[in-house]
Amino acid sequence: MEIKIRKCVTADLNDLREIAHQTFDDTFRHLNTPENMQTYLDRAFSLEKLKEELSNPFSTFYFLLVEDKLAGYMKLNEYAAQTDLKDPKSLEIERIYVKKEFQSIGIGRRLISKAIEIARERNKEYVWLGVWEKNQNAIAFYRKMGFQAVSNHAFYVGDERQIDLIMSRNLLV
């Protein structure tokens, strides 16, 4: 199975919007009200919002391709683009999603490995991410990948306040 990871460019905007919308919806629709999901999807994944994020020099998106099919994506943030910690010694994995049909075959590990590789290239001391406290499968996956819960923060889907665990992996050990 051929797996590639490539950096997204502005020309990828429509594909990025489609996969971002689809994977978030597939993952969380059953756990949220339809109104809150629609509000979040419209706000977070509008073409204007994604174009702005793609043009931010401290944010980078990557596509994961399996046999040249778009299977997942990841968004990394540094410095002021980070959603919470904003620590110059860290790299945030803000989003990491794999389409349902490509899950459980080990390719999510490739995205985490790529994030860690980038963090090391940029001399970061740790990588971190936020994960919804109710997303037990993701939490278990991140623990297997060496992440530990260190804190939490609020995350809103529509008007519902949810709690994300902040999980971190030290790169200095």
CATH at residue 17:
3.40.630.30
**Catalytic annotation on 156?**
no
**Phi/psi class of residue 145: alpha, beta or left (left: φ > 0; alpha: ψ in -120 to 50)?**
alpha
What rounded mean pLDDT belongs to the chain?
94
Structural domains in the chain (count):
1
**Tens-place pLDDT, residues 85-138:** 889 999 999 999 999 999 888 888 999 999 999 999 999 999 999 999 999 989
pLDDT at 171: 97
pLDDT of 62 above 90: yes
Nearest to 132 by CA among 104, 155, 151: 155
The b-or-e profile of 129-150 (16+ CB within 10 A means b, else e) is bbbbeebeebbebbeebebeee
What is the percent of the chain where pLDDT is above 90?
A: 83
**Of 40, 97, 142, 156, which is the active-site residue?**
142
pLDDT of 173 above 80: no
Domain that holds residue 99: 3-170
